[in-house]
Chain A
Amino acid sequence: MEAHVLSDAHLVKQAGRFVWLSVDAEKEANAAFLEKFPVNGYPTFLFLDPEGETPLLRWAGSAGVKQFERLLDDALVARAAASGDGPEAALARADRAEAAGKGEEALAGYREALAQGGPGWARRPRAVESLVVALTAADGREQDCAGAALAEAATLPAGSSRASALANGLSCALGAEGEPGWRAPAIAKLEPLVREAARYPGLLADDRAWILQVLADAREQAGDARGARRGYQALWDFVAAEGKRTRSAELRASLDSFRVAAALKLEKPQLAIGPLRASEKALPDDYNPPHRLAVLYREAKRYPEALAAADRALSRAYGPRKLRVFDVKASVLERQGDQAGLAAALAEAVAHGEALPEAQRRSAGKLLERMRSRLAKARGEG
């Protein structure tokens, strides 16, 4: 997002209409901000009214330039018109509620806005996308999420909002626990629609990669091994082609998580090692490339290289996510049968986790707890 959209000349022209704040969620200095304005994932764009520090709109994930420009307009509408009548005001109230973490109020607001706006409303694609994304984030609403995608997104014109809402709906259905009766029919209806959406022109590369991954996951969950393999191969082919096409190291690296996922699902970790080494060379301060290389080398059973990559990542990592790097290092040492090294790595990880500010420690809670228990076991105390 930062690598392309946020440097677009059209957006730069709008600089004076807002104050722009970048918050690295891993930094200790931002723990209090995130305690006050929690987000569900990264990146998230949050629009705030400075008077009363009121959240106006929250947007999870990336957006294209035109879409982001419309979000800027929507934030200004949410600031000015939330008390009025009509679908725009209803959308503004829903956006405010969603940004403030009032999930049920937001869902009712999006539905009200859609009902008032009717089928020809210009803001309908964005309102549908926001409704489905809000349902994705709500606990236990997988059926509603898949249902909204089918009922609302399937009526939208081809484009990024339709693609995003349909893929989120399919992702909700795939994530539903157990085998509820609605799940298989919903997947059967959504999967071909998402497959078609994956081919829409103009999607952002990371959105298209995510949609391809959801489609491959759907085949895997259906027990269709050949279909899943074709799906992950399609994901790999796409990110490989994007890697050759783009000149920006940041843009190339923004697809690295998909490169790793596809290579591992294809059981060919070596496929992604070259591109990840290129990312590490181009972005020497970023801990992610060596972190991901440690996983790839581990899966390729190249343990000394995995440990060296993990140590390079640890020297650059900070905040709660550093624990994930320790986790990879510990898994390599475990596979090597190095009990003393494992105990030392886990002790260092637990010390790092316990020194985090409380809000960050909470966000790393489960992983930190698991590491404490593994440390006790490695020391023969468990």
Chain B
Amino acid sequence: MHPLALALLVAAAPAAGKLPFVHDDYPRALAEARARQVPIVVDVWTPW
């Protein structure tokens, strides 16, 4: 399976109780958002 298709499947079916965050990979999130035509929610955080 194409890695992006796998990523889309993962994004569309979140594990119970968890939002399907992509971690530290903006290009991957951007590609997914363009493919699904949805906005990106970015949680910019730092260990605090």
Binding site for B on A (CB under 8 A): 1-2, 6-7, 9, 11-12, 15-27, 29-30, 32-34, 37, 39, 42-51, 53, 56, 72, 75-76, 79, 254, 257, 286-288, 321
B19 within 8 A of A: yes
Interface residues of B (CB under 8 A from A): 11-12, 14, 16-26, 29-30, 32-34, 36-48
A1 to B36, CA, bound (A): 26
- Considering only CB atoms, which chain A residue lies closest to B28 in the complex? A21
| Interchain CB contact (< 8 A) of A19 among B16, B29, B44 | B29
| Chain B residues closer than 8 Å to A29, beta-carbon distance | 24-25
Q: Looking at the complex, which one of B19, B21, B48 makes contact with A42 (CB distance below 8 Å)?
A: B48
For B24, the chain A residues whose CB sits under 8 A away are 22-24, 27, 29-30
Please determine whether B21 and A22 come into contact, CB atoms closer than 8 angstroms.
Answer: yes
The A-B contact count (CB < 8 A) is 140
Contact of B40 among A21, A43, A76 (CB under 8 A): A21
Chief secondary structure at chain B's binding surface: mixed
Instruction: State the majority secondary structure of interface residues on A.
Output: mixed
Query: Are A18 and B46 in contact, CB atoms less than 8 angstroms apart?
Result: no
Q: Give the contacting residue for A2; candidates B17, B36, B37, B43; CB below 8 A.
A: B43
Of chain A, the residue at the smallest CB distance from B14 is A15
Which of A33, A34, A39, A45 has the most chain B CB atoms closer than 10 A to its own CB? Answer: A33
Contact residues in A for B23 (Cβ distance below 8 Å): 21-22, 24
Could you say which of B26, B41, B45, B48 has the most chain A C-beta atoms within 10 Å of its C-beta?
B41
Given A21-B29, A53-B30, are A46 and B17 also a contact pair (CB < 8 Å)? no
Beta-carbon contact of B17 and A20 below 8 Å: no
Give 9 new A-B contacts, CB below 8 A, not counting A2-B43, A18-B40.
Answer: A20-B19, A22-B43, A24-B23, A25-B46, A26-B46, A26-B47, A42-B44, A42-B45, A46-B42
